[in-house]
Amino acid sequence: MRFSTAALSSAFIAVPAWAWGDNGHKITATIAQIHLLPSAHTAICGILPQNYSCSLAAIASWPDEVKKLPQWKHTGQRHFVNAINDHPPQKCVFGEEGWKAPSENILQAIVDTTRELNSTTGEKQDIALRFLTHYLGDVHQPMHLTGRDVGGNIIPVKYQNENKSLHWVWDDSLIDYRIRSMTNYTTPLPTTAAPSIPASSIVLNQRIESVLNGSVYDPLVRWIVVEGVHRWWANDQESWTRCPQLGLQRTQAQRIMQKLPFEDPIDLPVCPYHWSVPSHQLACDFIWREDFKPAKNMSQAVYEIELETPEYGGRVREQKMIEKQLALGGMRLAAVLNAVLGSQEEKRKFGVIPPLV
């Protein structure tokens, strides 16, 4: 069974988004697509219906669009995780005192959908791919890793003099401002050999441009991949995508995992807890300010705190926080998909992230 275009269209119309905004999810998925092994790309083409044109970006927001529909309502709780007694910045705990929904949260959802992608076929595998693509975006949005004040949804703030919730600012506003303010990478990268351009750059450019399709976020994707992934953070790729529990003897891994608040699987190439700890720490150390106060009713809230200041919005841009979170999500999604769907031959030759430069 395949989803009909009409059914998907009605889902898109019916439901608002509550995670990384649409652009954020598509950027993460596009970064992943650029770094797929050829065999993983071929597998994805076989999993998705033809009208999706093998595109991860095309399915990246689908779980948000359907989660309020009756048949998918059970997935709503799996877009975030709430640690018991976590209240940043005053008290920051990430599972040390337990979870409010131990079996129904984004950490467990990432494990479950990775397992389903690895072990099922047909419609079940299609659905698993959609949710995994989405969840690996959500888990890098720090507001999805704390339950304080509904993940910041009832914290009234201003961003560029517009009334927003704190959650909305991190879902959409910061990304959208970065997209609007891009002044470079606004045209396609050169893909033809030239004496002034290293051959390795041409290979990377060709891969990037083969995935982009004229979207408003294309310039930001180019910047993240060229300047970020393959320049600023080039030496971090292995540590970004590595899962510490893999490669250990089972007894060693079990001993390590038993000491952690969440046991990342020892039989799958994914480690949502290990990957999410730094993002939760970012929420504790920077995102939540001492003066944030929840509103009892957002329609009557007082919006006084402006976040577009040198100390907040300026620091986000200076430290490339948004770009890095999107890059982390994209590269980890690529690594998981390559590990699960890539051929053994290509994984032996290239690893789970193919060398593009």
Q: What is the pLDDT of residues 297-341, one digit of tens each?
A: 999 999 999 999 999 999 999 999 999 999 999 999 999 999 999
Q: Please report, for residues 3, 119, 231, 237, the alpha-carbon distance to residue 228 in angstroms, rounded to integers and kept in the order given.
A: 36, 34, 5, 11
Looking at residue 30, the DSSP 8-state letter turns out to be H
* For residue 128, pLDDT beyond 80: yes
* For residue 140, pLDDT beyond 70: yes
SS3 83: strand
* For residue 251, pLDDT beyond 80: no
CA–CA dist 226, 144 (Å, integer):
28
Contact 207, 34 (CB under 8 A): yes
pLDDT at position 250 is 60
In percent, how much of the chain has pLDDT > 90?
Answer: 88
CA–CA dist 109, 117 (Å, integer):
12
What's the token pair of residue 28? 């993460």
SS3 299: helix
pLDDT at position 356 is 78
DSSP element (H, E) containing 122: helix 122-138
Nearest to 27, CA basis, from 116, 169, 136: 136
Phi, psi angles (nearest 5°) of residue 11: -65, -40
pLDDT at position 17 is 38
* For residue 6, pLDDT beyond 70: no
CA angle, residues 266, 56, 53, in degrees to nearest 5: 135
Looking at residue 99, the DSSP 8-state letter turns out to be B
pLDDT at position 246 is 86
pLDDT at position 258 is 66
CA–CA dist 28, 96 (Å, integer):
29
Q: Domain limits of the chain?
A: 5-180+235-350
Q: How confident is the model at residue 221 (pLDDT cuts 50, 70, 90)?
A: very high
Contact 273, 264 (CB under 8 A): yes
pLDDT at position 157 is 98
Is the model more confident about 299 or about 133?
133
How many beta carbons lie within 10 A of that of residue 353, not counting itself? 20
SS3 91: strand
Phi, psi angles (nearest 5°) of residue 161: 70, 15
pLDDT at position 3 is 42
* For residue 145, pLDDT beyond 80: yes
Peptide linkage before 89 cis (omega within 30 of 0): yes
CA–CA dist 203, 80 (Å, integer):
37
Q: Which of 95-109, 164-178, 256-270, 272-286 has the lowest mean pLDDT?
A: 256-270
- Summarised one tens digit per residue, pLDDT across range 24-34 is 999 999 999 99
Mean confidence (pLDDT) of the chain: 92
* Burial status of residue 118 (CB atoms within 10 A of its CB: 0-12, 13-18, 19 or more): middle
* For residue 11, pLDDT beyond 70: no
DSSP per position, 136-194 = HHHTTSGGGG--THHHHTT-EEEETTEEEEHHHIIIIIHHHHHHHT--SS-SPPP-S-B
* For residue 343, pLDDT beyond 90: yes
* For residue 276, pLDDT beyond 90: yes
- Summarised one tens digit per residue, pLDDT across range 149-159 is 999 999 999 99
* For residue 259, pLDDT beyond 90: no
Which CATH superfamily hosts domain 5-180+235-350?
A: P1 Nuclease (1.10.575.10)
Looking at residue 286, the DSSP 8-state letter turns out to be I
- Contact partners, residue 255, CB within 8 Å, separation at least 6: none
Amino acid of residue 151: G
pLDDT at position 123 is 97
How many Å separate Cα 223 from the centre of its chain? 17
Q: Which pTM value belongs to this model?
A: 0.92
Q: Read off the pLDDT of each residue in 69-92 and give the average, rounded to a whole number.
A: 97
Q: How confident is the model at residue 58 (pLDDT cuts 50, 70, 90)?
A: very high
pLDDT at position 265 is 94
pLDDT at position 245 is 86
Q: Read off the pLDDT of each residue in 167-171 and give the average, rounded to a whole number.
A: 97
pLDDT at position 339 is 98
Q: Read off the pLDDT of each residue in 177-202 and give the average, rounded to a whole number.
A: 95
Pairing of strands 156-159, 162-165: antiparallel
What's the token pair of residue 354? 């193919």
